[in-house]
Structure formats: structure tokens, C-alpha cells
């Protein structure tokens, strides 16, 4: 048990999926895992452990933004021995070629700042995904016939961004999409010597203004979860 996670020793699997929304964690666990059981509900941040194809898996909410994810990822790695952490969530597309419901596999994550900035100081650290997971996710997406893109994303530290110039620069430099957590997850994975990946579903097209409804988001996220699980055990 930690300050933010009430699970007992042995109740967290080495493989953890990290959706931001705790209720999405519940949906993933109940939809994709066998015999999921609630192992955490401290502060309403739900975590479940079950099995997928015989493999132990935990699905745990991370909250919104890098500071929140940093809390849960640190405790999952340091106190519960998590070895593979995969963020599964939504993102906004920043390229014309990326459509709603497409999958983005984040090879690297650019950012203005993260909770780790105080440790890294003047270093412009390049947070990157684990290659084995990335390759496994691409293979899984191919096998499912999913439309996917591999490349860089932008982890923003604000949701209501008032920097259109920054978005323009990101788009110009080929950034595929924007979300709010992956850069810190990748940094923590590098620090602790574990594996990390972000598998994202495009819920908003920032170039066209298109967006999925809440119901469509849930129905459209199945590919993302299956790809993440397949990559974890490839």
C-alpha cells in the first residue's frame, strides 16, 4: 500500500495499462480481462487486476496530465514492481493524414515541461518508447487491419492551449498528435529501467475540427486496447 494506491502486495501485475480516466480503466478491465478484481479505489482512482490470455494484467487510472501520471507511475514501478507500462488514451491529430479513430503509436514525445524537468535541469532529454513494445504494437495493428501511424507526439502540460503558434510549429515538424501524459511516462521508464509505450486513439482532428462523441470514443477504443495487450506479451 502507498499513499495513492491501496492495493496489497502482489495485487498489481508487472504489466499495467494506464488510461487517464478511472472509469475507462473499469471498462477496459470488465471488457478485456478475465476475472478482473478491484485492487484500488483511493481518491476514486480505480485499478483492476485480472488476466488476458493467461497473462496477469493490471489496468489503473492515471488521471489527467503529467503530474498525476507521475504519481501513479512512480508508485507502480517503485512500490509494486511494474515492469511494462502502456498508456492507452485519446489524442488530437495534428496532421491531415491522421483521421478520427486512427491509432497513433508514439515513438517519441516532445514537451515544454514535465515533472522531471527539475531533475534533468538543463538537459533536453528525448523521451522515447521501448522498441520491443513499439514493434509489437505495430505488428498487432497490422494483424488487426487497423489504420495506424508511428512517429512523434506532443505531450502538452495544458488542455486549454492558447498558443496557436506552438501548434503550427508542431505540425510543421511532423508531430502526429497531442496528448498530456506520455513524455513523463517515457522519462520515468528510462529512469527506472522499465518498458513504456503510448497507444493512442484519435478522438479529435485539430486540423478539421472533427471530434468523436463520448459514446463513439468508447466504441472506438477497442483496437487500441487489443493492440496494447498484444504488444505487452509479443
> Per-block average pLDDT, block size 10, for the chain (234 residues)?
96 98 96 98 97 98 98 98 98 97 97 92 94 98 97 95 89 97 98 98 95 78 96 97
- CATH superfamily label, 15-232: Nucleoside phosphorylase domain (3.40.50.1580)
Strand (E) or helix (H) holding 35 = strand 34-40
Tell me if 72 sits within 8 A of 85, measured CB to CB: no
- Torsion angles phi and psi, residue 160, rounded to 5: -90, 80
pLDDT of residue 219: 66
Q: Which of 86, 165, 172, 65 is nearest to 130 (CA)?
A: 86
Q: How far apart (Å, rounded) are the C-alpha atoms in residues 79 and 46?
A: 17
pLDDT of residue 90: 96
Query: Which segments are annotated as binding site?
Result: 4, 20, 24, 43, 87-90, 179-181, 203-204
Residues forming beta bridges with residue 199, ordered by sequence position = 88, 105
Query: Which segments are annotated as binding site for a purine D-ribonucleoside?
Result: 4, 179-181, 203-204
CA angle 229, 174, 67 (to 5 degrees): 55
- Count CA atoms within 13 Å of residue 94 on its CB side: 23
If you compute the radius of gyration of the chain from its CA atoms, what whole number of angstroms results?
A: 16
Helix orientation angle between 222-232 and 131-144, rounded to the nearest 10 degrees: 130
pLDDT of residue 60: 98
Catalytic residues: 204
The total of other beta-carbon atoms located within 10 Å of residue 174's CB is 10
Q: How far apart (Å, rounded) are the C-alpha atoms in residues 67 and 45?
A: 14
Tell me if 118 sits within 8 A of 49, measured CB to CB: no
Amino acid at each position: 500500500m502507498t499513499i495513492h494506491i491501496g492495493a496489497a502486495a502482489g495485487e498489481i501485475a508487472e504489466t499495467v495499462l494506464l488510461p487517464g480516466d478511472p472509469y475507462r480503466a473499469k471498462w477496459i478491465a470488465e471488457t478485456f480481462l478475465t476475472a478482473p478484481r478491484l485492487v484500488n479505489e483511493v481518491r476514486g482512482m480505480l485499478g483492476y487486476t485480472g488476466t488476458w490470455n493467461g497473462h496477469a494484467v493490471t489496468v489503473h487510472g492515471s488521471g489527467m496530465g503529467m503530474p498525476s501520471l507521475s504519481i501513479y507511475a512512480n508508485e507502480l514501478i517503485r512500490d509494486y514492481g511494474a515492469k511494462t507500462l502502456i498508456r492507452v488514451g485519446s489524442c488530437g491529430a495534428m496532421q491531415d493524414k491522421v483521421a478520427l479513430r486512427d491509432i497513433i503509436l508514439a515513438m517519441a514525445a516532445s514537451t515544454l515541461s514535465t515533472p522531471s524537468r527539475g531533475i534533468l535541469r538543463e538537459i533536453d532529454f528525448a523521451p522515447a518508447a521501448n522498441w520491443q513494445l513499439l514493434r509489437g504494437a505495430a505488428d498487432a495493428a497490422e494483424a488487426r487491419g487497423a489504420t495506424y501511424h508511428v512517429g512523434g507526439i506532443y505531450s502538452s502540460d495544458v488542455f486549454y492551449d492558447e498558443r496557436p503558434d506552438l501548434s503550427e510549429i508542431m505540425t510543421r515538424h511532423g508531430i502526429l498528435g497531442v496528448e498530456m501524459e506520455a513524455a513523463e511516462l517515457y522519462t520515468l521508464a528510462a529512469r527506472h529501467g522499465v518498458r513504456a509505450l503510448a497507444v493512442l486513439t484519435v478522438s479529435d482532428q485539430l486540423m478539421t475540427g472533427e471530434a468523436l462523441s463520448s459514446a463513439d470514443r468508447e466504441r472506438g477504443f477497442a483496437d487500441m486496447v487489443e493492440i496494447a495487450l498484444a504488444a505487452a506479451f509479443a
